Structure 1
Amino acid sequence: MRTFIVPTDFSINAQHASSYAVQLAATLDARIVLMHAYEEPVAISDYELSTIHFDTMKAHVLQRLNERKQELHATYGDKVPISCVTVNNNLVPHIQKLYESHDARLVIIGLTGAGMANIFLGSNTLNLVNNIGHPVVVVPPLAVFRPIRKVVFACDMKNVAATVPAEKMKRILQVVNAELLVLNIQHPKQPSPEMEAEKETLQKMLEGIPYSFHCVHKRNIIAGIKDFVREQQADMIVIIPKKRDFLENLIRPSHTKAMLFRSTIPIITIPLDEE
């Protein structure tokens, strides 16, 4: 059985993401690992922080996780197995260990803040997307669950052999059983002499999965993506983080790609293979 790892900070948007995760797991015969990373309290003296206090904190977090588990089962039924995990500090290495021990396929997280000024789990989420080395599904607050049938991948079609993690993308598409729509946005009358060669390379890389190629002429790339997603009634958007400061760049007000994170459908980041 596949495993989806769902970190939570018990916020409203985290609850929304866990609800989405359970519904997705139900359609894909997967189980959920619901987890929370907490920080150990700072002791004023060497004697103040005792094992009893630490165990009490851990027990409280575990109780809240189990309460959320009960809420999810009460709402969506108990078809999806849910286990609860508490960890202290260092979210990223703990999730990496869960990937290895639970045969995990996805991390599913939520967002907070209309302008992405604050991201769910703060810097931990930035570290997660940049460093986890595995696909991460980001669930916007307005996203409504529906089975994933079409996934849009906006690609500039430049050096696809080095910039498209095809094998990871194929594994995810096989997990969600979806069709891939490769979208290339071009300015009107923009020449592309190398396009055919790049398309042939991409075709070989994506062999074995259903996909189609679409070229749209738009002056505004973000508007073109949004229009295409709406016209195709797509269920998810793929983004390939190519830089380690990927999300930090996205949340800058001047960065138009931040508009994608106001989407009403989930976004999945699939990292490139390490060089």
Structure 2
Amino acid sequence: MKTILMLTDFSENANHAAKTAAKFVPQLKADLMLYNTYYDHPILPTYAGGPWVVEEFVFQKDESTAQLSQLAIQLKHIMSGISKDDFKPQTDYQCGEGPLGKNMAVIIQERKVGLVVIGSRTDSAIDHVIFGSDTMDVIDHAACPVLVIPPKAEMNKLKKVTLAIAFELADINAISYMTDLGRQLGFELEVVHVSLPEENDDPVKENAVLAHLNTVKQEHITYQEVGGKDVIRRLNKLCKESCSDMLALVHHRDGFLSGLFDRSTTATALDNQAIPLMVIPSDQTNDSK
């Protein structure tokens, strides 16, 4: 993992997510990049019979850059107090005009981003939007895992993480990614297979996933099965009972091979989020590991 990309709109939730994630950046031996998107459209048509020049949009880029600089200084201070070896994460920042999801996708490719961090939305209407792009837009455009951190969640020490799988081939990459992350951050990985009563698993895929799980299974990896129709409710209950600090799942974009954890399931997980959520794209490449 070469770079961790932190998305911010400078809200309280976004700043909390950035500062929380900064605490484990040194352990991942990764550099840090902050990004903010803005809409620089100084002309709003059809106001009082003609166009209306809105001065605040003219200065949006300068304001964004200034706030990114201030946040970068705060994160550097946090990381400097945590780093225990010679590795010193580099911190950079950038802002851009336009849709967040599409802009982010370009940055992920150019900067070899291995993880995206974003603050979760709250129940208020405005928190469901990050300058015109919501959290699902970020997840749908990300070619690497996205960590969504809810308000007040702390990640000072991850002791246990739950990874939900559905016996799809994409689960193999997800298990490898979370296993590597567990080695770096020192958490126990709990792999949970979720089954639905009315569906039968593909035995070929099941054998392939279980075979891979056996090759990486070690002292800090456990496995269990869970069934039921309300997938997210059961997973949230399981995480609470097992004192899991984070839930991870594989996200399948809209398409023919949607799988159990499709877009609607991911959206439901975000709407019922109590602990940090790691969303791993089903088509992630090895570069994001």
Structure 1 unaligned residues grouped into runs of 5+ = none
* Counterpart residue number, 2:80: 77
Structure 2 residue runs without a partner (length 5+): 46-50, 82-87, 256-261, 285-289
- Residue-by-residue CA offset, 1:5-57 (whole Å, 9 max, x unaligned): 00100000000110122112022222210110111123269x998xxx85x43
**Paired position in structure 2 for 1:22:** 22
CA distance in 1 between partners of 2:225 and 2:78 (Å): 42
Alpha carbons of structure 1 residues 43 and 197: separation in structure 2 relative to 1, 3 Å: closer
Question: For 1:92-107, what aligned pairs fall within 5 Å after superposition?
Answer: 92-107=101-116
- Does the 8 Å CA contact 1:28/1:176 hold for their aligned counterparts? no
Contact 2:128–2:134 under 8 Å retained in 1: no
- Kindly provide the CA deviation profile for residues 112-167 of structure 1, in whole angstroms up to 9, marking residues without a partner as x: 2138884351534322111223211110113111334532122344xx23xx3422
One-letter identity of the residue aligned with 2:18: S
CA displacement, residues 171-230 of structure 1 (integer Å, 9 cap, x when unaligned) = 35314525432213569xx79986986643212344653443212467864443233323
Cα distance, 1:248 vs. partner? Answer: 6.2
Report how many aligned residue pairs link the two structures.
259
1:3 paired with 2:12, answer no
- 2-structure distance, mates of 1:126, 1:194: 27
Deviations 1:57-96 (A, max 9, x none): 3222111111111223344537543211111113223322
Query: Is the contact made by 2:252 and 2:263 (CA closer than 8 Å) also made in structure 1?
Result: no
1:109 and 2:118 matched: yes
Match of 1:58 among 41, 52, 61: 61
Query: Partner letter of residue 166 of structure 1?
Result: I
Counterpart CA distance in 1 for 2:101 and 2:229 is 38
Q: Aligned letter for 2:102? A: P
Q: What amino acid sits opposite 2:179 in the alignment?
A: L
What does 1:83-232 align with in structure 2 at a 5 Å threshold? 83-114=92-123, 118-119=127-128, 121=130, 123-157=133-167, 160-161=168-169, 164-177=170-183, 178-185=187-194, 199-206=206-213, 208-210=215-217, 211-216=221-226, 221-232=231-242
Check the 8 A contact 1:238/1:268 in 2, yes or no: yes
Residue 32 of structure 1 aligns with an amino acid whose one-letter code is: L
- Counterpart CA distance in 1 for 2:43 and 2:125 is 33
In 1, the alpha carbon distance for the partners of 2:128 and 2:249 equals 17
Q: 1:111 & 1:29 partners in 2: Cα distance?
A: 25
Query: Are 2:278 and 1:272 aligned?
Result: no
Mapped contact 2:162–2:191 kept (Cα < 8 A): yes
* Identity value in percent: 19
| CA distance in structure 2 between the partners assigned to 1:154 and 1:249 by the alignment | 12
Change (3 A) 1:37 1:196: same
1:241 alignment partner in structure 2 = 251
- In the aligned structure 2, how far is the partner of 1:116 from the partner of 1:173? 36
Distance 1:220 1:86, change over 3 A: closer
Whether the aligned pair in 2 keeps the contact of 1:96 and 1:132 (CA below 8 Å) is yes
Q: Is the 8 A contact 2:32 2:91 kept in 1?
A: yes
CA-based RMSD? 3.7
TM-score by length of 1: 0.76
- Cα separation, 2, equivalents of 1:92 and 1:192: 33
Contact 1:4/1:106 (8 A) holds in 2: yes
Question: 2:48 corresponds to which residue?
Answer: none
Distance of 2:135 and 2:200 partners within structure 1: 39
Q: Which residue of 2 aligns with 1:68?
A: 71
| Secondary structure, counterpart of 1:244 in structure 2 | coil
Q: Which moved more, 1:84-93 or 1:68-77?
A: 68-77
Q: Distance in 2 between matches of 1:250 and 1:171?
A: 19
Structure-1 separation of matches of 2:234 and 2:265: 20
